[in-house]
Structure 1
Amino acid sequence: MRIAFMGSPDFAVPALRALHDAGHEIAAVYTQPPRPAGRGHRETPCPVHRAALDLGLEVRTPARVKRDITQHDAFAALNLDAAVVAAYGLILPKPMLDAPKRGCLNIHASLLPRWRGAAPIHAAILAGDAESGVTIMRMEEGLDTGPMLLKEATPIGPDTTVQVLHDALSEIGARLILRALAEDPPATPQPEAGVTYAAKLTKEDGRLDWSLDAAALERRVRALNPWPGTFFVHSGEQIRILAARIEPGSGTPGTLLDDTALVATGSGALRLLRLQRPGRAAMDADAFLRGFAMPRGAALD
């Protein structure tokens, strides 16, 4: 089948490789343009861009496509059977959505209609969902509103981190998109009930609000690392929390209940297990506390 692939981050790479290995004719790969990265701010291609070059595929990196008629025409000229979209990062206009014979198929990292939007993997953990999954959807102009072709669920355990869930969903998506193209399953409209939205995350979302209960804070640590990262401020420094555990305890929220990083929350307490100062290596709490004072009774912001 002649297809275009449209994606940018690590999440999309397994699907691209699976499509290539299955023998589909990938006419072009669309990705976000290279961005400055690292200390030298060198222009760096995204993960899908790098994978496409490794596979010897044509890569296109338009900065925008919504109102660029030349991009619409170039996409239509590919004469595609289908386009596969996985976390591409640009909104596709109707002329592009309608150009492939079987439309544009999206690999969405949630069980639609739950968690439409930009950050569905994080949102599922933050909300304490028991499961997440992947939906293959035929795209339309609305935000993740298109009819569904296939779904597959996977559990979210009490220790599941966003990276673990991300990797599991990425592999499920690669498997499901092959099925969708091979089987051409009937499309099912999304139900109107149960719609939720996962907003785009910002760095400030990582600042912990100690008035929340310990369970909600522990989920934030699992959901928001490595990006945007969870943190608090103490002694003028922004300290990242990379791992934490719920424990019994009570006190004024944000107050240290002992000398080994047990913090009172709105309900219960949170044991900080792994921490990182700016510009330093991440450390387990016992090693961290030997070089950075966090005494009992101190308040964390």
Structure 2
Amino acid sequence: MSPADQPRRIAFLGSPALAVPVLEALVGHGYEVPLVVTRADKRRGRGGELSPSPVKAAAQRLGLAVTDQVDELLEVGADVGVVVAFGRIIKPHVLTQVPLVNLHFSLLPRWRGAAPVERAILAGDHRTGVCLMDVAQELDTGGVYRRAEVEIGPDETLEELRSRLVALGTALLVDALHEGLGPPEPQVGEPTYAAKVDPAELRLDWARSAVELSRVVRLGRAWTTAAGRRLIVWRSRLGDGALEGPPGTLAGTSVATGQGSLELLEVQPEGRGRQAAEAWRRGARVADGEQLGR
């Protein structure tokens, strides 16, 4: 179902924190938001208390009606629904009755799926962007109303890049709603798919190249082991050439890899807080020549 060219009554579907700025912008620009749809509350902590999604918390703060039932969209008379990282399948009977547009954080058809920003970093892409697209029954296949591109910084983290893309996408959406959506254009090119990042992918395999490992670190919570205990690597940079010894060999704050070396900048030992890698080396019982990840 096609949306009105300049909609004013806009439902919102989203759950994580990255969707909150988009919802806030819609309200801030005077759009009527009759309903927010988000995930159900989850039980967290030892007490098992119910915790709302970041989007639900924002909706309640803004005084908006909120639900976890997608079918309630059918009852509010929205001109369009805006979807941002909703994370749930929207069934065909809803798609045929409520026009929906989605902010997707990649240059479609590259990186359709759940983790487009992560996969762009891991693949070493130099550019990415945001697409405002029609929601279709098949995953991220809808036509594109607007798109915007950005360069990916060589050391840019997932959090930093995602923040830039959310700001870019928010502006793209607001401009499109104000100026009129117009007809979407079909996606052109060979699609690639962005599966969720498995926790196992965050373990640093020192046999890989330093370039590949630095990309893993940029996702956040990459880890290895030192003296048998987990060590999270929060920040790193490419070292100056190769080091002696097998992959994983430690020399100061640098680590030998399958190709080149990786310098550790910020780490978090098990049971401790984040700290500079130099401070960790001074206090750790790990000598030069020992291997990480064993």
> Normalising by the residue count of structure 1, what TM-score does the alignment of the two structures yield?
0.90
- Trace 1:24-63 onto structure 2 (pairs within 5 A): 24-38=31-45, 40-62=47-69
How far the C-alpha of 1:127 sits from its partner, in A, is 1.2
Q: Is the 8 A contact 1:131 1:155 kept in 2?
A: yes
Aligned equivalents of 1:160, 1:149: Cα separation in 2: 28
Matched, 1:86 2:79: no
Q: Is the 8 A contact 2:155 2:237 kept in 1?
A: no
Aligned equivalents of 2:199, 2:46: Cα separation in 1: 20
- Trace 1:127-276 onto structure 2 (pairs within 5 A): 127-182=123-178, 183-191=180-188, 193-222=189-218, 224-225=219-220, 229-247=221-239, 248-250=241-243, 251-256=245-250, 258=251, 260-276=252-268
Give RMSD over aligned pairs.
1.4
Matched, 1:110 2:106: yes
Equivalent position SS for 1:6: strand
Percent of aligned pairs with the same amino acid: 41
Q: Is the 8 A contact 1:262 1:272 kept in 2?
A: yes
Moved more, 152-161 or 29-38: 29-38
How far the C-alpha of 1:235 sits from its partner, in A, is 2.0
Runs of at least 5 residues in structure 2 that lack an aligned partner in the other structure: 1-7
Out of 265, 271, 274, the residue aligned to residue 282 of structure 1 is 274
Equivalent position SS for 1:4: strand
Equivalent position SS for 2:34: strand
Q: Is the 8 A contact 2:35 2:73 kept in 1?
A: no
Aligned equivalents of 1:99, 1:179: Cα separation in 2: 25
Q: Is the 8 A contact 1:75 1:99 kept in 2?
A: no
Q: How many residues align structurally?
A: 283
Runs of at least 5 residues in structure 1 that lack an aligned partner in the other structure: 66-70
How far the C-alpha of 1:61 sits from its partner, in A, is 1.8
Aligned equivalents of 1:47, 1:75: Cα separation in 2: 20
How far the C-alpha of 1:125 sits from its partner, in A, is 1.2
Aligned equivalents of 2:254, 2:171: Cα separation in 1: 43
